[in-house]
Structure formats: C-alpha cells, structure tokens
Amino acid sequence: MLARPSRDRELVQIVDAAFAEASRKAGDWLICRPGCTQCCVGAFAINALDAARLRVGLSELQQRDPIRADKVRQRARAYLDRVAGTYPGDPATGILDESPAGEDRFLTFADDEICPALDPEMGTCDLYSFRPMTCRVFGPPVRNEGGVLGLCELCFHGASDRQIAACEMRADFHDLEEKLVAELEELGTRGSTIVAYVLAE
C-alpha cells in the first residue's frame, strides 16, 4: 500500500478553507448538510492521490471501528459485483480506460450507484475526512476547465447569476495536487479509478 504524501494534508487544508469561505458567502443558498446525499450517487473518477487518502482513511477506520470499516468494504465489493460487466476499464486493477471510447462509456456508467463510503442508515460519509477532491468541492459554485460555473442542482434556488458568481469557490490547489499525483506516479501508481475499487481492496 502506497503512503499518502505528507503535503496532502496541506492540500486538504487549502481546499477545505476555500469551501468554508464559499459556504460562508452562500449562507442558506448552500444546503449541504449531513443526510443530504445527492452528491453520493453516481460514479466519478479519482486520481492516485485521492486513492491513497481513502486507503489511509479506511485503515484508520479499521483501527477505530473495525465493524464499520468491514461494512464499507462489503458495500464496495457489492458495488463492484453489480457493475462488473459494464466497467469502463481494467476489471482486475480498477484502472479506467482513458481512451475516447473509454471516456464515452464512463459518461453513463454507474449513474445510480451509491458511493460505498456512504453509511445508508445515517446518510453520512464514513470516510468524510479522507474524501476525494471531487467531494470536497461539490456544492458551491466551482469554475470548470471551460470557465463555466457548476454547482449542485439542489443549491442556490432563487439566487441570481450575479449572486451565484459572488459565492464562487476559489482555491489555487491544482498545481500542488498535480505535483503530489506526480510523486505517486514516480512510485509506480498510474491512472484513475473509482472509489469502490479502492475500498474493496
């Protein structure tokens, strides 16, 4: 198991601080709360850094609460069993096919699957402190690579475009994230996967 790069904690702090500031500006428009699980449905790609963080989180959960950790693993294995025939990547390693055809297959892959880190009874994430970057930035307005602001469809009802833009989550973390992913790649970890593959290991 590859270790989590030491500067990943710095990365998490940067992103979490930016989320907190965006949340403060958004006020009641941002409805993200424990029990709201809209963002926990559907597969998304995670990088090697997210995977390393999740492994550390599951290991720590194993130490604190082995029964809960085992339930996470069981949910992850059941998830993989359900999607085995349609996985858009290598089913042995979990590495996603990043060719144009693979990316097309991923667009509709596992749209209704619930993240195995989600406790279905509590409606909360069992690995919240170790969640991927996609989870950490979901909710407030975030500008994508094309310059378009995206946000959770449940949030910002009644807000104008100007009000939404004023709550944009701004965090300059991509350079640091890329550097840490490159560190892991130098150690032999390459490619993206999904949360279930990491948690089922």
Question: pLDDT per residue over 8-58, tens digit each?
Answer: 999 999 999 999 999 999 999 999 888 899 899 999 999 999 999 999 999
- The overall average pLDDT reported for the chain is 92
Confidence label for 188 from pLDDT (cuts 50, 70 and 90):
confident
Give the pLDDT mean for 173-180.
90
Global pTM value: 0.91
pLDDT at residue 185, rounded to an integer: 86
What is residue 128's predicted lDDT score, i.e. its pLDDT?
A: 96
Segment 160-171 mean pLDDT: 91
For residue 2, pLDDT beyond 70: no
The average pLDDT across 128-156 equals 89
- pLDDT classification of 1: cutoffs 50, 70, 90: low
Q: Check residue 171 and give its pLDDT.
A: 77
Torsion, Cα of 153, 191, 103, 56 (10° steps): -30
Better-scored residue on pLDDT, 106 or 4: 106
**Greater pLDDT, 189 or 163:** 163
